[in-house]
Structure 1
Amino acid sequence: MRTTLGAEFAAALHRHRDRTAVESGARSWTFGEIDRWSRAVAAQLRAHGVAPGDAVALHLQNGVEFVVVDVAVALLGAVKVPVNPLLPADTARYIVAATRARVVVADPALGVEIPGPVILLDDLADPTGPPLTPSAPVGPGARAAIYFTGGTTGRPKGVVHTQASAVAVQYAQLLEAEIVQDDRLLLTTPLAHAAGLFAQSALIRGATSVIEPGFDADGVLAALRDRGITWTFLVPTMLYRLLDALDGPEEFGLRTVVYGAAPITPGRLARALEVFGPVFVQLYGQTECPNWGTRLAKDDHDPARPDRLDSCGRASIMADVAVVGDGSAFVPAGETGEVCLRSPYVLEGYLDDPAATADKFLPDGWIRTGDVGFLDDGGYLHLRDRRADMVISGGMNVYCSEVENVLAEHPAVAQVAVIGVPHDDWGEAVHAVVVGSLDVDELLSWSRGRLAAYARPKSAELVAELPVTPFGKVDKKALRAPHWAGRDRAIG
């Protein structure tokens, strides 16, 4: 069995050399062309001093070049550091500095000046350049990638993954995301985030990645109609925009839609099933255990089974899931606690942070997720909140996701996020931030018969849209900021 990404890519690029690997813009590239180009870029990186184990940062927008550099780094046995192009400039520079990147491959169109050796996109070696001369291969325990957490509660942390974990997550992903050789994957979210792992899967399987610079509802619908797309990755907000953009009944050739970041609301799911069919797979993971901690399968997406739709599925094929209480002891089904995961693709550790690494791990390879939830009798994981997100009002725990699910049932609510705001008596009070067409007093009154008194929003505000992080999740830090300004703590 191959135990490094470089070996996986090399074998796949040769095996599928005459098939189409990538489509981007109006062009396409075969696996053989990606092979030649990536080896030329690998030689270019080596000429800039990159050796096995050195970090190479990719500050690139979506495009074929990202895939080429990704493969080149793996062929060298170097360490990939993807820098999300949506991140602020200071955060991008922080990531490059923290990883001590030997070289940064950067797109000047992003307008971010990064110190150190930089290969600009326009100067990237073309496929006619000299190919990489093979060197001694790295082992499965060598570093393969350093990913960074979202950073919504402070500086992002570097999450180190080895070659063995990078390969293991691909094996899990090929099975759980149901990627097959004749699939055409539409990738619209940043390749520097989860979509980059799906592009790797497509290469390894021999499928085709259709890469778009970003998400646009009309553009995605056009691609689904005209480009033979069979597989895509979305966050629920994107799915809602697709449904809203449809003018009438249509037929699409989608076989699989993988989504994450949040569950699909039952009403929207019923409509999505009518339009796209039984194609939905929900993933749950985190940067420290990428993508496949749990999986909600296609046949679980049944509007008649709200208990299943409330969950994020059961343990992935190569993962274990458990819930621990305050004393780090496992708790039985139905009891709420911190969700923990174990798999061959958990992080090696946090970059230059042994204290955070020690705090992350429990005995026997388990890691803490920081998420609060419970397992039901069928082994389905039900998330209730992130620990840092939970509102404690008058000593009572309020799980924001539960309140959000109830408020989302109001027909005039398009989106809602619940946060804690300061309160002199209770420490925190529940506050709803709503996208919709209704009066906030009406919503507060409507919630009275549907939520416990301590969990009901005490205030609400209407906004045009909810802010999101560069990773597509609602940015609750940004929502809380104006309410907690001038205070030492952002919780009550």
Structure 2
Amino acid sequence: MQEPCPAPFNLAAYVLSRAAQTPDKIALAVLSPTGSDRWSYARLETAVRGMATGLRGMGLTPGDRVLLRLGNTPDFPIAFLACIAVGLVPVPTSAQLTTPEITRLAAVIRPALILAAPGIALPEPVPCPVARDLGALAAHPASGYLMGDPDRLAYLVFTSGTSGRPRAVAHAHRAVWARRMMWEGWYGLTAQDRLLHAGAFNWTFTLGTGLLDPWAAGATALIPAEGLELSALPLLLKRHGATIFAAAPGVYRKMLMQSENLALPRLRHGLSAGEKLPEALRKAWQRATGTPVHEALGMSECSTFISGSPARPAPEGTLGYPQTGRRIAVLDQDGQPVSKGRTGTLAIHCKDPGLMLGYLDDGKPHLPLTGDWFLTGDQVSEAVDGALTYHGRRDDMLNTGGFRVSPHEIEAAFADLPGVTDCAAVAIEVSEGVFIVAMGYTGPIEEGSLRVAAEAGLARYKQPRLYARLAALPRTANGKLDRAALRACLKEVT
């Protein structure tokens, strides 16, 4: 079982605790084909604690919110931890957000300060002071850590709401301690590892899996420099001796399109999250590298909590198992557990130490969770041995002819076809109240071959009625499939 979070506690102090033990070890290397910018644990902690002093010197008080508008540089995690060190509440946001988007988010969190890099959109009008010289902030003497209750608010992140309105998720300091369940339950992480994460610094998947966890474990984090092409990743993985690789499925797909054989002698395994990893893609990576990919299911409200791992690989076609220490259930519409093998909604117990405090509401610190279970919206079924099979999001599930169908089940029928490089299914409304299954795909395959495969492998009500060849499937800046954008694109075809 997971040990309870120690008290008093500070997230930043915990993450940087290895600086006292191994000050000269490399904590972070920002990689480019021509070299790397290396940060020792001592240098990293000095920058964090210096910036913490600078922030407090601006007149901020514990509990004040700091909006991070920073790019793909070490400034991002340094600012994040500096805020937390002295009780400020950082709010990381994507640098890709436009002025209208970040204006709406700022209205929700009501920041006392914005930390900004050049060329990144700010709210309009700007609601508070803006600090741009982060180097000057970090040059101050080291601050101490503000210790306190592990359950107090540490940071906010935004997640997409089912209504289309982003919601601010409030996390406690204890959230980082709860991530220890992933070390064995997903990563197989040790202090000797060199973990290369392909995402940008300001993606929460990168922040947690690529930075905070390796640092807390005493490992080395490797992050590609801003603007690096994906084609350079195999060289960097090999040159810098990466033992673990983390990325969204789209990154694995693009790397395999470059080469069917990747020589990565020190790599032990890959990690995948962000969207469902197709089984064909997992197998292709295994063939190309000789290493497995361990997938995890998570969400902004609780990070990852279901996964396969080196110690307990996921059975084929499944997500894996609840990490040791997690308490989950699969519930029906009445909130009652479903029997093994039946599909229901995945739920997390509200006492899970990694679960959020709640959603920000009307500027209040957070809305406390009520009841015993938090419903994720993910549709899963549980095997006798506890392995979970994913059937899509509740709001992604397709309704056709009165049947509810997982888009992933449809997509799996085409994933291994020669000439299909990518595909995704959605339901589109062709007339009021009438929906059909539509599929966008990339690759040279002809539509007739797709229809033959559908007839051979899918019940009629599951077969797409519309196929559209696209130059590329729409994806977010972090490589996740954008089903809403795909739905709109295919709607124009009808």
Q: TM-score with structure 1 length normalisation?
A: 0.89
Select 2:109's aligned residue among 91, 99, 102: 99
* Cα drift, residue 269 of structure 1: 2.6
Q: 5 Å matches for 1:239-258?
A: 239-246=252-259, 248=261, 250-258=263-271
Structure 1 residues 139 and 257: CA distance shift in structure 2, 3 A? same
Alignment match, 1:12: 18
Q: Deviations over 1:204-249 (max 9, x none)?
A: 1221222222663321111112111112211112112222222746
Query: C-alpha separation between the residues in 2 aligned to 1:318 and 1:82?
Result: 28
Deviations along 1:305-337, whole A, 9 cap, x unmatched?
Answer: xxx221111111221222111111111111111
| Contact 1:187 1:195 (8 Å CA) reproduced | yes
The SS at the match of 1:225 is helix
Q: CA deviation at 1:196?
A: 0.3
- Extract unaligned runs of 5+ from structure 1: 303-307, 486-492
Deviates more, 1:275-284 or 1:321-330: 275-284
Number of the residue aligned with 1:464: 471
Task: Tell me the amino acid that sits aligned with residue 350 of structure 1.
Answer: Y
Distance verdict in 2 for CA 1:333–1:344, change over 3 Å:
same
CA contact (8 A) 2:188 2:309 kept: no
Residue 435 of structure 1, CA deviation: 1.1
CA distance in 2: counterparts of 1:98 and 1:20, whole angstroms: 38
Q: State yes or no: 1:196 paired with 2:207.
A: yes
Aligned amino acid, residue 242 of structure 1: M
2:357 is the counterpart of 1:348? yes
Residue in structure 2 matched with residue 150 of structure 1 by the alignment:
160
Match of 1:179 among 189, 208, 218: 189
Question: Which residue identity does 1:401 align to in structure 2?
Answer: H
Shift of 1:64: 1.6
Give the AA of the match of 1:257. G
Alpha-carbon distance between aligned partners in 1 of 2:403 and 2:228, rounded to the nearest angstrom? 40
Deviations 1:424-453 (A, max 9, x none): 497211000111112223312321121111
Is structure 2 residue 40 aligned with structure 1 residue 30? yes
Number of the residue aligned with 1:210: 222
Structure 2 counterpart SS, 1:233:
strand
Following superposition, the deviation at residue 284 of structure 1 comes to 0.7
Give me the whole-angstrom Cα distance separating, in 2, the residues matched to 1:64 and 1:253. Answer: 25
2:60 maps to 50
The offset of 1:104, in angstroms, is 1.5
C-alpha distance in structure 1 between counterparts of 2:238 and 2:278, whole Å: 25
2:307 is aligned with 1:278:
no
2:3 equivalent in structure 1: none
Which secondary structure state, in structure 1, belongs to the residue aligned with residue 438 of structure 2? strand
Q: CA deviation at 1:252?
A: 2.6
Cα offsets for 1:269-320 (capped at 9, x unmatched): 33322333334221111111112x2111237668xxxxx2211111112212
Cα distance change of structure 1 residues 233 and 251 upon mapping to structure 2, 3 Å threshold: closer
Please name the residue that 2:328 is paired with.
Answer: 321
Tell me, yes or no, if the aligned pair for 2:46 and 2:142 is still in contact at 8 Å: yes
| 8 Å contact kept, 2:230–2:255 | yes
Q: Shift in Å at residue 113 of structure 1?
A: 5.4
Helix, strand or coil for the counterpart of 2:456?
Answer: coil
% same residue: 25
- Give the Cα–Cα distance (whole angstroms) in 2 for the partners of residues 43 and 445 of structure 1: 66
Aligned residue identity for 2:257: D
* C-alpha deviation, 1:33, in angstroms: 1.1
1:41-92 per-residue CA deviation (whole Å, 9 max, x = no partner) reads: 1111112222222212222222221221122112112212110123333222
Unmatched 5+ residue regions in structure 2? Answer: 1-5
- Superposed CA RMSD in Å reads 2.6
CA distance 1:112–1:66, shift in 2 (3 Å): same
Q: Do the aligned partners of 2:424 and 2:440 also contact (CA within 8 Å) in 1?
A: yes
Superposition map of 1:260-271 within 5 A: 260-271=273-284
Amino acid at match of 2:152: A
Is this contact kept in 1: 2:244–2:268, CA < 8 A?
A: yes
Query: Which segment drifts farther, 324-333 or 444-453?
Result: 444-453
Aligned residues: 473
Q: Which residue of 2 aligns with 1:436?
A: 443
CA distance in 1, matches of 2:118, 2:163: 29
